[in-house]
Amino acid sequence: MRREAVVDSPEEWPVTSSRTAFHGKVWDILTEEVVMPDGVVAARDFQRHPGAVGVLALDEQRRVLLVRQYRHPVRHRLWELPAGLLDVPGENPLHAAQRELYEEAHAKAGDWRVLIDFYSSPGGSSEALRIFLAQDLAEADGERFQAEHEELDLEVDRVDLDELVRLVLAGELHNGALVASVMAAKVALDSDVYGDAGLLGLRPADSPWPARPFE
């Protein structure tokens, strides 16, 4: 028996009702009544999220630029990639990623490619993330961004990619976007998944993103 291609495909089951159970500053919680394949109608609660972008910024020494900040829901200070919300409808994700790299690390990059796209927790959230691989790093022009709230206490460092892989596998790093991106970057750099193309095999930075369409 021939199986279908291993590719995620869009699909939408009938919804008989939808209401906003909670309206927040950044995201909402929706309750929807969904018709299951057997005809049973079941309630599903989920987070309606605007989406986000992140940047795996890699320097010439194969070090990844990281930021460390407090995350209250998990009561941890986590090492993460520079990242931010897509809270401007229709915003180009590349522009958002470039802004986050500047604001959180006062850095810029000359080469941008799409590393990975993924849903952070599709069983309970519509959050979609696009992670860019940024290279040819340099200090950003102009004054530093004036941070506030959690970002006032932000730490910035650069860590060797192979060391990050080791720390991920040792259970020392826990941010989902960081974990997925570090492993993907390691494969893209050191395997023959793209053959002779190397990192040139990664998608261009302006590649379509059906989960969060942009102009």
Catalytic machinery residues? 151
| Angle at alpha carbon of residue 14, lines to 8 and 20, rounded to 5° | 95
CA–CA distance, 138 with 12 (Å, rounded to integer) = 44
CB 90 within 8 A of CB 214: yes
Q: Which amino acid is at 78?
A: L
Phi and psi, residue 94, nearest 5°: -65, -45
Q: Residue 9: exposed, middle, or buried by beta-carbon count in 10 A (0-12, 13-18, 19+)?
A: exposed
Phi and psi, residue 210, nearest 5°: -55, -30
Q: Within a 10 A sphere around the Cβ of 51, how many other Cβ atoms?
A: 21
CB 184 within 8 A of CB 129: no
Sign of CA dihedral 95, 190, 7, 178: negative
CA–CA distance, 206 with 214 (Å, rounded to integer) = 10
